[in-house]
Structure 1
Amino acid sequence: MSNDRLAGGAADAGADAPEGRPADGPEPGKRSSAAEMLAAAVRAVESGERSAASFFTEPKRPAPARPARPVPQRTPAPGPGQRPAPDPTLTGDVRQVLAAGGAPEQLAGQVVEALGEQAATTLREDPWRLLAVPGVRPDQADGFARALLGAECTPGDERRAQALTGWLLERAALAGHTVLESSALLAELGRRSVPDPDEALHGAIAEGAVLVFREGPEGEEEQEAEGETAEDASVRLLLGLDRYAMAEESLADGLTRLAGTFEADQELDWEGAAATAPSPSAAELIRAVAASGLVTHSGGEAARAEPAALVAAARALGLRACAAAHTEDGRRRLVELGETEAVTLAGLLSDREGPGRDEDGAWALDLLAVLDAPQVDVETAALLVESLADGARLVLSGDPGVLWSAGPGRVFADVVAARICPAVVSRTPDPGPIGELVSGIGIGELQQVEAPGKEVVIVPVRDAGEAVHRTVQLVADSVPRAIGVPAEHTQVVTPGHGGAVGTRALNAALKERLNPGPGRFGGFDPGDRVAYVPAPGRMVQGTVVSADVEGLRLDCAGAAVVVPPGRVAEEVRHGWAVTAHQAVGARWPAVVVVLPGDAAQTLTRAWVYTAFSRAERHLSVVHGVDQALPRAVAEVPAKERSTRLASLLQAQAQGAAEG
């Protein structure tokens, strides 16, 4: 795609995507005119001069019955071969527009998918709408617009500003945010050469492309008592896309509905069930669920037995109960704990697994326990809660130390932080040297542990070449020989895909050693270990079986999967080495964590905790980051995310108490 820049210096001066919150911002102690304008709007709403509906989207009071509000309907990720091909007529028209703007004609299908049937007309009228296509950067959209518009193309074009605003918020969503502070968004617009970011943002808000929210002290009297006014920094002005705003508000309403419609089962012997629970923490969880429609449960791998015991106890009491894991491997581990009817969350939401639905469209369930809850994004959570009937019980269970969801939001952490329901913290520790090591990391301490059976091994390396060499040696020779875990049950985890020691480099070296071949099926050979990603945040491991005109054929834990040729590059990678974000829902008998020197600046406690805790029996750490590892564990907990769910839940709880 063309990388031409706009006349007048409209260059994409920043990174392709904000790493969380943009670093740039207004001068300390000063407010931009947009912030002043938004603050003035707040005062207008509070004084009655304008209605809240004309400018703000405010949290609603909890509704007593289902549905609490319209839930965002998201089409489940299509399975292999289910994605319809774009209409050739539509793509033909789009190809012509793309060619006229110097953009690759191969994008036509993605453009139609992003912009709909009028995609060609839309692009002619507003070339910057090309930013709606995943992977397109602002500088590329600028070049495309310049080729189509010529002298009419200017850096201050309001169409450009509006498209950039949406693109920035979508990029923020990829980093986990559901909203951004106004100062952060203004700074990012300025970095991308928008001449008047204040005016651009005001225009985007006026057009409805962006929603604005106010968070801070309520009421002028309270602010005056604290010596503050509505213009103080204590009032946060947050901006977001309606897609994620609707999901967060629907989720908040749904969780409040479950808590508000719950009625205790006086006739059921919950106390008897707790008395026979397999552990004190399982008994505590059972008692909490007996008294509340919404409960959170925190703990490590060993604590997974507690929600499994809860579901078994609920069934014994005659309730319709189900346990759902985020991944297929998580479901497998539940089955090993005796929960043979466990399902995956994706299977439950698509109605391929689970109890089915009643005449009202709700699941035929009295209790749902969702494990791996930190991996559930806000849109998935909204769909999940909307599918539960009034009076049903919901348990959100997970390990708070692991990396958060691939999609936007931090649902589990926000529900815990809101303190609107019982929060059970398991006292069941993960056993052995690996469990001891991971528990220390969880509280910010990287400690040496006794490992008489070589459960934990540190392998120092000096450079990238040595890191790759030692990793291959560990997987192919040392771990099978010394630990007894074969290469096919050993997983390599590394910080990223690129670089000299990323997944691409490590997978190439591991393939050469473990399954050499010419890559005759688009880079893959029969027997290759692969990571199949049918939807963001959901990885399934498999083995290549063969390929034909229908696509690449995989064996994924006994299930036959066919990935169409056009989706192989997007959804399939070699899988001997994966990132921690891909590995978060699974565990393996042996894990080799690779920490190359260039990863020092990217490590966080959550990343280290997640990578190290993937190992069941043996953990090898290929260590090339020196003191960056203990520093990350002690000082860098996790990358922050901007969300509204906790404040929405607290506001609704307060409204219910006052009502």
Structure 2
Amino acid sequence: MEHAVSTEPETTEDGTPEGTAEVSEAQAELEAQRVERERIERRKAEKRGPVESGAKLSGTAAELLAAVRAVESGAKPVGPVFAEEKPVRRPAAPEPARRAAPPRPAVVARSAPDADRVAAVRDVLVAGGAPEALAAPVALALGEGAEDVLRADPWQLLRVPGVRPEQADGFARALLGAESSPGDERRGRALTGWLLEQAALAGHTALELPALTAALAQRGVPDADAAVQDALAEGDALAFQDALDPAAGAQEDAEGEERPVRVLVGLERYALAEESLADGLARLVNSVPKGGGSAEEWERAAAGGGGAAGELARTVAGHGLVLHTGGEASRGESAVLLRAAREVGLRAWAAAHSPLGRDRFAALAGEAVAGVVTVAGLLAGAEGPGRDAEGALDLDLLVVLDAPQLDVETAALLVESLPDGVRLVLGGDPGVLWSVGAGRVFADLLAARTCPRVASRTPDPGPLGELVSGVGVGELTQVEAPGKEVVIVPVRDAGEAVHRTVQLVADSVPRAIGVPAEETVVITPGHGGAAGTRVLNAALKERLNPGPGRFGGFDAGDRVVYSPVPGRVLPGVVVGADRDGLRLSCSGAEVVVPRERVEGWVRHGWALTAHQAVGGRWPAVVVVLPGDAAAALSRPWVYTAFGRAERHLSVVQGVEQALPRAVAEVAAKPRTTRLPVLLAAARGLEQGAEQA
């Protein structure tokens, strides 16, 4: 039985987009994604033969397990081990600091619309009583001839982010008069697309047909089935019939019986991404030899050894795709694998979700070990090894950290960028919040069981580790915290929650724990409300860095989050401002945000949502749970928020029994995706080819 589908956002967080280190990198990433999507479509159009096996690893690859155990056991100090020279077939992996950054692609997509087009759109908006401020977004969304498109179909206004159906209906009535009606086929098509976009914001890559038609009926569409058919006929959406049980379905087909299916409707971009991702993962799995050669060498090197990192390396040796699960402590196993792989000359890299995660993992792997980047920087060409002559990333091993944060489009771009024969390790904690973007890639792969999974047995240490581990299994337990690692602060209302939070950050935590305010982060369920990020940031600014907000609401010294690209947040500090824009320092890099982008791309950052905090950890964390936050709580939210603390966690608690109830009973909201079915189909084709 399929879960009920919600087309509303998954949490009260608004999915504030996160960003890379500077504006040009954000633009480069968008263009890189456009180029990769074109590459995906070309690949799908080609008639591909059997996937060729990847080249066997060099003899030095067989030394990886030995190096792993040497590092892990302490038999060799890290420095001398990786300073030794050994004969290898390939030169040692290059250090990123010593190679020029790969050229960034020219930005040609999504350029600002010209003034004449914006003026023409403005005239149509004014005629329909819509705000003139929408002129540029409409011109950008509808492209050439936007004003004519809008006159012919006023409901196309729904293609602009933030526009609601009731607003588009009012605009249509003003333009069309008596011709406007709830049953207008143009309205039905536009609402179908809008509902699918809203579903994507909530994490779904498609909707079951009954859920979609029910949502259309709730919006006043008299013939929802016809509206969906119109959208399909116009190419605004795609329909799919997926077997509810692919394995059983294949058997029933052989017996001539009808197999049960579900009908899904989705947008083309997510359909292409999921299909490309499934094909790409199958390619990686099939392009690594199943036995003999390098796999046997890796196994011999691992014989008689032990250790968590050794188990991970032994599994990676024989498979092109490996899932590595565990908490914060499991990153140490990935760090050992990366160091050992690079020591034997393999082109090994690790990619984190955020710059904070990148910097933390680089410190864990060792400053002398290069090869740690962000996923965004890797895809944009701003970080990493660059690409080979065929456009694939020039590497042998890629370890992706924070894999639960991969949305389906990013995952597809990443997998399509990998060459045949590469080994891909997707690592992360299954208990944290899923990606801001559509899909649940890591969870789908875990459920599909199409590749090996190595579960770390290394527990997170101390009272904080014990607390978070309990939350992960649905238990909110009281832990012994002799060093005040965990403190509960009960409050009666949101006003008291804000007051106590400011007191904790500015006074109590620095005095009692020794963590200064600039190393403490506040996490709360949403941006709005009486104790959301907006209110908390205003109160924290007034106490920690008061000022008139002379730079577009900001002052030098303000903590901020910079977010030019959807899905990522980069914390920083305001340095100043000049004619070029607002100047920030983000993870050691200087960022200049143009004046016209400040309002949309920069927020104050003493207080964050849990989604914004994913991928980062801070010495001290204050989690704020006012009484009105109870409905937003879930086990993944609490697990993620509590898990951001390294040394100290204060919980400002106003939800009373709603907190343990959420931990025990409220799991992640289900997401409708097609990836499990596509993975099962790919596996079935592979098995059929082997039997043939």
The TM-score, its normalising length taken from structure 1, stands at 0.86
Q: Does 1:169 align with 2:196?
A: yes
Question: Cα gap change, 1:275/1:436 in structure 2, threshold over 3 Å: closer, same or farther?
Answer: farther
Residue type matched to 2:287 in 1?
A: T
Are positions 1:199 and 2:226 aligned together? yes
Instruction: Indicate whether 1:236 and 2:262 are aligned.
Output: yes
Find the aligned partners of 1:450 and 1:176 in 2 and give their Cα distance.
37
Distance 1:351 1:548 in 2: 29
Instruction: Report the 3-state secondary structure (helix = DSSP H, G, I; strand = E; otherwise coil) of the residue aligned with 1:553.
Output: strand
Deviations 1:79-130 (A, max 9, x none): 9999843211111111111111111111121112211122111111111011
| Residue 326 of structure 2 is aligned to residue 302 of structure 1 | no
Which residue of structure 1 lines up, in the alignment, with residue 504 of structure 2? 474
Q: Does 1:18 align with 2:8?
A: yes
Deviation at 1:213, TM superposition (A): 1.2
Q: Distance in 2 between matches of 1:425 and 1:249?
A: 27
Q: Deviations over 1:188-227 (max 9, x none)?
A: 1011000111221122222222211122246889669999
Give the C-alpha shift of residue 313 in structure 1: 2.0
Listed one character per residue, the Cα deviations across residues 548-599 of structure 1 (whole Å, up to 9, x for unaligned) are 2221111112211011111111111100001001001111000000011001
Conserved 8 A contact 1:255-1:294: yes
Tell me if 1:394 matches 2:384: no
* Distance change in 2, residues 1:62/1:301 (3 Å): farther
AA of the residue aligned to 2:194: W
Alignment coverage as a number of residue pairs: 596
Taking only the aligned residue pairs, the percentage that are identical comes to: 67
1:251 aligned onto 2:241: no
Alignment partner for residue 406 of structure 2, among 373, 376, 381? 376
Aligned to 1:627: 657
Taking the aligned partners of 2:625 and 2:294, their CA distance within structure 1 comes to 55
Are positions 1:270 and 2:274 aligned together? no
Which residue identity is paired with 1:544? V
Whole-Å separation in 2 of the counterparts to 1:20 and 1:311: 35
Of the three residues 360, 373, 377, the one matched with 2:390 is 360
Secondary structure at the counterpart of residue 583 of structure 2: strand
Q: Aligned partners of 1:408, 1:314: CA distance in 2, in Å?
A: 33
What CA distance in whole angstroms lies between the structure 2 residues aligned with 1:392 and 1:490?
39
> Which residue number in structure 2 is paired with residue 333 of structure 1?
360
Q: Structure 1 residue 294: deviation in Å?
A: 0.6
Asked whether the 8 Å contact 1:62–1:656 carries over to 2, the reply is no
Which residue number corresponds to residue 37 of structure 2? none
Shift of 1:136: 0.4
- Give distance in 1, aligned partners of 2:669 and 2:45: 26
The aligned counterpart of 1:38 is: none
2:615 match: 585
1:511, 1:110 → 2: CA distance? 32
Mean Cα deviation higher: 86-95 or 492-501 = 86-95
Q: Which residue of 1 aligns with 2:648?
A: 618
1:426 aligns with 2:456: yes
8 Å contact from structure 1 (residues 80, 563) kept in 2: no
Say which SS state the counterpart of residue 534 (structure 1) adopts.
coil
**How far is 1:391 from its partner?**
1.0
Instruction: Tell me, in whole angstroms, the C-alpha distance in 2 between the residues paired with 1:130 and 1:150.
Output: 17
The aligned counterpart of 1:25 is none
Letter of the aligned partner of 2:283 in structure 1? Answer: R
- Please give the alpha-carbon distance, in whole angstroms, between the structure 1 residues aligned to 2:376 and 2:384: 10
> Which residue pairs with 1:526 in the alignment?
556
Q: Say whether residues 1:554 and 2:584 are aligned partners.
A: yes
Shift in Å at residue 646 of structure 1? 1.3
Amino acid at match of 1:18: E
Aligned amino acid, residue 360 of structure 1 = E
SS at match of 2:356: helix
Letter in 2 for 1:401: G
Distance (Å, rounded) in 2 between the aligned partners of 1:59 and 1:594:
51
Instruction: Give the 3-state SS of the residue equivalent to 1:424 in structure 2.
Output: strand
Distance 1:180 1:641 in 2: 9
Structure with the bigger percentage of helix: 2
The answer to whether residue 516 in structure 2 is matched with residue 486 in structure 1 is yes
> Which residue of 1 is the match for residue 542 of structure 2?
512
Tell me which moved more, 366-375 or 311-320. 311-320
Residue 55 of structure 1: aligned partner: none
Q: Which one-letter code corresponds to 1:621 in the other structure?
A: V
> 5+ residue gaps in structure 2?
1-5, 12-43, 53-102
Q: 1:408 and 1:434, CA in 2 relative to 1: closer, same or farther beyond 3 A? A: same
Indicate conservation of the 8 Å contact 2:104/2:381, yes or no. no
AA of the residue aligned to 2:8: P
2:81 aligned residue: none
8 Å contact kept, 2:294–2:317: no
Distance in structure 2 (CA, Å) of the matches to 1:65 and 1:358: 19
Preserved CA contact (<8 Å) 1:62 1:253: no
Q: Determine if contact 2:158/2:190 at 8 Å carries over to the other structure.
A: yes
1:154-208 Cα distance to aligned partner (Å, 9 max, x none): 1111110000000000010001000111111111101100011122112222222
- Does residue 112 (structure 1) correspond to residue 107 (structure 2)? The answer is no
* Other-structure match for 2:486: 456
- Go from structure 1 to structure 2 and tell me whether the alpha carbon gap of 1:79 and 1:615 turns closer, same or farther (over 3 Å shift): farther
SS across alignment from 2:649: strand
- What letter matches 1:453 in structure 2? G
Structure 1 partner of 2:669? 639
Cα deviation, 1:482-530, whole Å, max 9, x if unaligned, reads: 0000000000000000000000110111011001111111111111110
- Structure 2: distance between partners of 1:573 and 1:308: 33
Deviations 1:629-653 (A, max 9, x none): 1111111111111101111111110
The match for 2:530 among 497, 500, 512 is 500
| SS of aligned partner of 1:237 | strand
Give the direction of change, closer, same or farther, for the CA distance of 1:355–1:225 in structure 2 (3 Å limit): closer
The corresponding residue for 2:313 is 286
Structure 1 residue 372: Cα displacement: 0.5
Instruction: Give the counterpart letter for 2:401 in structure 1.
Output: L
The 1-side partners of 2:49 and 2:673 are apart by 22
- Secondary structure of the 2:394 match is coil
| Compared CA separation, residues 577 and 221, structure 1 to 2 (3 A) | closer
Contact 1:537 1:581 in 2 (8 A): no
TM value normalised by structure 2: 0.82
- Tell me the SS of whatever aligns to 2:196: helix
The one of 140, 154, 161 equivalent to 1:127 is 154
Judged with a 3 Å threshold, the aligned counterparts in structure 2 of structure 1 residues 615 and 201 are, in CA distance, closer, same or farther, namely same
Corresponding letter in the other structure for 1:146: R
Check if 1:98 corresponds to 2:125.
yes
* Structure 2 CA distance for aligned equivalents of residues 569 and 296 of structure 1: 39
Distance across 2 between alignment mates of 1:149 and 1:180? 31
Please give the secondary structure, in 1, of the residue aligned with 2:564: strand
Cα separation, 2, equivalents of 1:187 and 1:603: 27
Alignment RMSD (CA, Å): 2.8
Counterpart in the other structure of 2:433 = 403
Quickly say closer, same or farther: Cα 1:340–1:397, change in 2 above 3 A.
same
Q: Which amino acid aligns with 1:260?
A: N
Listed one character per residue, the Cα deviations across residues 210-251 of structure 1 (whole Å, up to 9, x for unaligned) are 211122246889669999966xxx532111011100000000
The aligned counterpart of 1:573 is: 603
Tell me, what secondary structure is at the counterpart of 1:469? helix
Note the C-alpha offset of 1:534.
2.1
Which fold has the larger relative contact order, with Cα–Cα distance below 8 Å and residues 6 or more apart in sequence? 2
The amino acid across from 1:335 in the alignment is A
Instruction: Work out whether 1:156 is the aligned partner of 2:183.
Output: yes
C-alpha change, 1:82 and 1:275, in structure 2 (3 Å) is: farther
Decide whether the 8 Å contact of 1:275 with 1:283 is kept in 2: no
Distance 1:20 1:472, change over 3 A: closer
